């Protein structure tokens, strides 16, 4: 079974996506974005396009809306760009306003105006994909279906997805939706490898500590739902920016990544991403950097995923786990 959900659906063939959370400046509502922030966004998009990235990931909360606003300025400055790229954004998180706490909201009353705000900030008439941003314990699938149907019929959203959801939550939601869920976005990387551990710890005591939904990887492959990995570069821990209190496993894995990169005459970023992309689920990393040099450093990831051997993949996994296979 070959997993190519977004390609099969004619949505996108971009093997990498650019996460735009780092655009727009600060998360302070009082600060506005500047011409420098727009220039930064233009340079990030230019770097991404230069290595074949045509998919861009947003959320209405990223830098309290400014990430979408500066991206909208990029689109305004390059009118032909919109039809060359795929844009997805997310709704459903309400940030704290100082009185009420941060919370989730999948109500129709929240979703519909949130999408209007996204479209206004981006300066576009439609989103290619809209994701629900984390699970809302109070979600009512029939109400979400009403909102999605209205958005689809109005032409404002073409496809729908979710983030950080389990098989049960996706089934619960999909039962009411007229259109298929096409994406589930999850934190996955060499650092956050519990998505692998959950599978190999079946019938093992070590599995009691796993924090990844059982069967999620298999479920999404069977349902042809695109797995998107957020945080795939692990904040640079294995590609030049180690954490201050890095574990022995992290230090050893960074050295191993660099060794393989040197042997393959490529970059550490390409190896880190290739490890994810080697998986048969055809994982699509959403790289979070907006640094043009680091974006370009990812350009060899697809080729490296094809070159990576089973032995290299497992060697990296065992190193990252800091423990042998059970």
* Residues ≥6 apart with Cβ < 8 Å to 93: 59, 60, 61, 102, 103, 104, 105, 133, 134
Residue whose structure tokens are 């576009």: 124
HEC assignment per residue over the chain: CCCCHHHHCCCCCCCCEEECCCCCCCCCCCCCCCHHHHHHHHHHHHHHHHCCCCEEECCCCHHHHHHHHHHHHHHHHCCCCHHHCEEEEEECEECCCCCCCCEECCCHHHHHHHHHHHHHHHCCCCEEEEEECCCCCCCCHHHHHHHHHHHHHCCCEEEEEEECCCHHHHHHHHCCCCCCEEEEEEECCCCCCHHHHHHHCCCCHHHHHCCCCCCHHHHHHHCCCEEEEECCCHHHCCCCCCCCCCCHHHHHHHHHHHHHHHHCCCCHHHHHHHHHHCCCCCCEEEECCCCHHHHHCCCCHHHHHHHCCHHHHHHHHHHHHCCCCC
Residue whose structure tokens are 């959801």: 165
Q: Is 62 a catalytic residue?
A: yes
Angle between helices 248-263 and 268-277 (to 10 degrees): 100
Catalytic residue among 33, 62, 126, 314: 62
Residue whose structure tokens are 């004619």: 10
**Which residues does the annotation mark as catalytic?**
62
């Amino acid at each position: 079974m070959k997993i190519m959900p977004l390609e099969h659906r004619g949505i996108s063939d971009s093997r990498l996506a650019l996460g735009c959370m780092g655009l727009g400046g600060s998360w302070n509502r009082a600060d506005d974005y500047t011409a420098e922030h727009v220039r930064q966004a233009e340079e990030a998009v230019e770097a991404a396009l230069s290595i074949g990235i045509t998919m861009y990931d947003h959320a209405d909360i990223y830098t309290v809306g400014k990430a979408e606003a500066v991206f909208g300025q990029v689109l305004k400055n390059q009118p032909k760009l919109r039809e060359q790229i795929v844009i997805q954004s997310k709704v459903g998180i309400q940030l704290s306003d100082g009185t009420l706490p941060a919370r989730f909201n999948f109500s129709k009353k929240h979703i519909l105006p949130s999408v209007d705000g996204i479209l206004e900030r981006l300066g576009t008439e439609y989103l290619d994909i809209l994701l629900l941003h984390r699970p809302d314990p109070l979600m009512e699938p029939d109400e979400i279906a009403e909102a999605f149907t209205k958005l689809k019929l109005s032409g404002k959203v073409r496809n729908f997805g979710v983030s950080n959801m389990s098989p049960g939550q996706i089934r619960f939601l999909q039962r009411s939706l007229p259109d298929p869920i096409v994406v589930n976005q999850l934190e996955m990387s060499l650092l956050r490898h519990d998505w692998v551990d959950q599978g190999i710890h079946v019938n093992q005591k070590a599995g009691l500590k796993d924090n990844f939904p059982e069967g999620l990887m298999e479920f999404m492959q069977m349902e042809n739902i695109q797995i998107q990995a957020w945080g795939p570069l692990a904040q640079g821990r294995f590609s030049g920016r180690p954490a201050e209190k890095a574990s022995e496993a992290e230090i050893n894995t960074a050295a191993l990544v660099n060794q393989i990169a040197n042997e393959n005459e490529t970059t550490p970023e390409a190896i880190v991403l290739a490890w994810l992309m080697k998986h048969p689920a055809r994982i699509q990393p959403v790289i979070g950097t907006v640094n043009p040099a680091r974006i370009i450093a990812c350009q060899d990831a697809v080729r490296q995923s094809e070159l990576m051997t089973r032995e290299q993949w497992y060697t990296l996994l065992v190193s990252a786990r800091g423990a042998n296979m059970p």
